[in-house]
Chains A and B, each alone.
Chain A
Amino acid sequence: MTNPPNTLAAPPRGTGFWKDNLREYGMMMSLLAIVLFFQFATGGVILKPLNITNIILQNSYIVIMALGMLMVIVTGHIDLSVGSVAGFIGAIAAVLMVQYDLNFVLAAVICLALGGLIGAAQGFWIAYFKIPSFIVTLAGMLVFRGLMIAVLGGRSIGPFDPTFQKLSSGYIPEFVSSSSGVYLTSFAVGLAAAAFLVWQNFKGRSRRVLHEVETEPFGFFVAKNVAIFLVIGYVAYLLASHRGMPNVLIIMALLIGCYAFFTNRTIFGRQIYAVGGNEKAAALSGIKTARLTFFTFVNMGVLAALAGLVFAARLNTATPKAGIGFELDVIAACFIGGASAYGGVGKVTGAVIGAFIMGVMNNGMSILGIGIDYQQVIKGLVLLGAVCVDVYNQRR
């Protein structure tokens, strides 16, 4: 009885467009604020081309896993095994490529498939036997950590084929030679990506305007897109003036794009949110909830495997310590990025921003010379604070 059906009352904030996006803008602003803070505190070191490249390389595997973890968390579950699985897959990759001299493409495919299988093995118990994911993946965490050490025989295996190393330490090829020291192809790719994003935004907006769907004010929209273009362009410029675009950034960007599309726009994606929002209601609406849950774990396994490969390629060796504690960073990234521990809420872009908030903080604090001890304290408090603010905002 709040309103007669057809009044044109101004919709309050917290509905429609704003509800969906305000949170994300807030997080982007936080990331920006953190970057600016460290830029100031470190005397400009954090935005040096070399350092920006490092931040991206250091966090690539966390971002990749956060994409899968977000979906797991949205369905109302958790996966504690991702760090161990990533380490285990890295070890398998080393054994296949270094000890058995297998072609790196074939080895990578085997590794990804094995990751999927591991995800399936865990997802099976969670989805069909209703065993709490916390327990199943805690077991998985121990099992795969142990298996990794067994596979490696307690020592490190390396080095990898130089071509495989390029996965993490390579840069996209340059087609134009440049005298200024700026890698023009990389810069162009960055600008093209920024232009594509802005174009997509405009297309979406004009479609919404055409159909009279509520959308943000034009001025705000333009400012937002100018900012997007400038930030991406600037980061591309910084990268281009160091060594160019890292290969792994391209992989990451493509994955982020795919997963954002998948979760926001497809039936499958929508159903994942429905399962997390109210599993019983979803089931009674004809959604195959168990199958979806199973799928999110398979997907998580594949992404953990990919992250394991990226990490192994980056270190150029598989060590028994690989992957320790990754799960915590990945899960923290999702929660800082606005995912709800109760399921049903969270966005891919949020998780990516969350991962970079953690990454920039790690990097900035290291540059400032803050010890690993207090780094952990600060990260823990930031996680708690971010979630508290979020919960508070939701309650209002």
Chain B
Amino acid sequence: MLAPAVSAEQLPILEMRGISKSFGAVKALSDVSFTVREGEIHALVGENGAGKSTLMKVLSGVYPHGSYEGSILLDGQERHFRDINDSEELGVIIIHQELALIPLMSIAENIFLSNPPSRFGVIDRSAVHERTKALLAKVGLSETPDTLITNIGVGKQQLVEIAKALSKDVRLLILDEPTASLNEKDSAALLELLKEFRAQGITSILISHKLNEISAVADRITVLRDGRSVGTLDCHEGVVQEDEIIRRMVDRDMESRYPKRDPKIGDVIFDVENWSAYHPQHSERQVVKNVSMQVRAGEIVGISGLMGAGRTEFAMSIFGRSWGRNISGKVRLHGKDVDVSDVHRAIKAGLAYVTEDRKHLGLILGEDIRKNISLAHLGGVSSRGVIDDIDEMKVAQDFRTRMRIRSHNVYQETGKLSGGNQQKVVLSKWLFTGPDVLILDEPTRGIDVGAKYEIYSIINELADAGKAVIVISSEMPELIGICDRIMVMHEGEFVGEVAGEEATQENIMRAIMRRKVREE
């Protein structure tokens, strides 16, 4: 069921042809074509990292013309957007997952932030007020225009974002996971609103993970996988099954992307019991909810889940309370309770956490390979507080060879390395601390295929050396490819567990979806 030919009476409002976009060596989009008809709700689905957001950033001019290949046609005319203002001028408005509202300003001020109605350069307050009122009525929000954003909930904030889009004469509204942080009622209201817009002739592109929502409102669905379009389904040509979408979203071709391994699994060495953590700003929001897990020596356990499931928060709160507040629960290593109340203690106890964001949280980009590797265990290259530079250099050289870090020497700045090599430096840093338990958060994000294979091999070696390895990843095939067991997290809880050999993307997705259905 590939995209049917566009019928004559329904001209496409948007046509993206052969879009390719790379970040360094990583190809985020390859030859994606994507057509949206006037007045439809077009859903864009795919796994995390499939390229949905990148495609929308290309469309809205966040990545300017020239930084990608391919062409964008709006109303049949080719467009070269230099920035987001160019696309907004033509009525293409994107609402990002992270809302871009200013919390300490009022609803009205936020809506008319970029170009408020004014007379002689002075903002016309009463006009702002009146027009805001009208817009709020349109989106069905009963708040006064003077209410501060910080005083309304996320659901209403989402509506304010939409009102803001309407204020700009929107023709094509792009919503990136609009219901991700909304409850059921707000989600339903938002979807109703989209249908109303459709009736008024506004076209929408909806990015969502919630397949039930998509089947409820979408006219057509385009599925992306690994930066490629794998087809467009038309919901008016018979009922689209969720399974059908899932099958297209996930890639069953595992090929030889994952190194072979023969697991030798020992006793439980890592044991977390009733772990909870609350959001650091919204202290009433429990993000990790009484989670327990056990990992054995030599075992690789994956944690799967959608974005915002609480996986990173879970890991970081264990690792020296680096995230959250009101953290409670027990951590045992080799059967003994250990103190992980700060990072220093967690490292001492034998934990290591490789962050998701290696540039901002993992590396000191201005420093060289050597200094980054020794950073978490300076005691290992010094005596009485004085660093032995020769020892330090030797340690770095040893890791450089073992991990095949490609660089001129160990004095090269880490900021100038490729993503894969940077990740190897981060891994070296943590291996040098001699951990028993390694938590790897998105260990291959933004890394090319060849380097991925090497990282997987390193992970395998670590497990074979008797360490307990936990891998958090949004790429399901990766987890299926390397893990002995996969735990599925959803809304701060483990909602399912799949043994490695039984794991398929379908049953992981189902574990998440089942939970969703039960909630709704």
Contact = CB atoms under 8 A, between A and B. Distances in A.
Interface of A: 1-6, 9, 11-12, 15-17, 19, 207-208, 211, 213-214, 265-268, 270-271, 273-274, 277-278, 280-288, 344-345
B406 A5 contact: yes
A2 B375 contact: no
B408 A2 contact: yes
A76 to B, nearest CB: 12
18 contacts: A1-B418, A2-B408, A11-B409, A15-B413, A211-B394, A266-B385, A266-B386, A270-B375, A273-B371, A277-B364, A277-B365, A281-B361, A282-B364, A284-B322, A286-B343, A286-B347, A287-B343, A345-B366
Contacts of B343: 283-287
A280 B387 contact: no
B387 A15 contact: no
A15 B405 contact: no
Interface string B298-339: 000000000000000000000110100000000000000000
Nearest to B354: A284
Interface string B385-399: 111011001100000
Contacts of A266: 382, 385-387
B365 A278 contact: yes
Interface in B451-467: none
Interface of B: 25, 319-320, 322, 342-344, 346-348, 353, 355, 360-368, 371, 375-376, 378-379, 382, 385-387, 389-390, 393-394, 400-401, 404-409, 411-413, 418, 429
A391 to B, nearest CB: 13
A15 B353 contact: no
A338 to B, nearest CB: 13
Given A2-B418, A265-B386, 11 more contacts: A2-B406, A5-B401, A15-B411, A15-B412, A15-B413, A211-B394, A213-B393, A266-B385, A267-B385, A284-B322, A286-B348
B393 A15 contact: no
Given A11-B408, A213-B393, A270 B320 contact: no
Contacts of A213: 389-390, 393
Nearest to B346: A286
Nearest to B345: A286
Nearest to A394: B366
A19 B366 CA distance: 11
B367 A17 contact: no
Max count, chain B CB within 10 A of own CB: residue among A2, A271, A273, A344: A2
A268 B385 contact: yes
Contact of B360 (A11, A207, A281): A281
B360 A280 contact: yes
A11 B408 CA distance: 6
A281 B320 CA distance: 13
Contacts of A281: 360-364, 375
Contact of B382 (A17, A207, A267): A267
A9 B408 CA distance: 7
Contacts of A3: 406-408
Nearest to B378: A267
A9 B360 CA distance: 30
Nearest to A4: B406
B25 A1 contact: yes
A284 B376 CA distance: 8
Given A207-B390, A213-B393, A344-B366, A270 B378 contact: yes
B119 to A, nearest CB: 38
A208 B392 CA distance: 12
B344 A270 contact: no
A214 B355 contact: no
Contacts of B386: 265-267
B408 A274 contact: no
Contact of A344 (B342, B364, B394): B364
Contacts of A267: 378-379, 382, 385-387
A16 B361 CA distance: 24
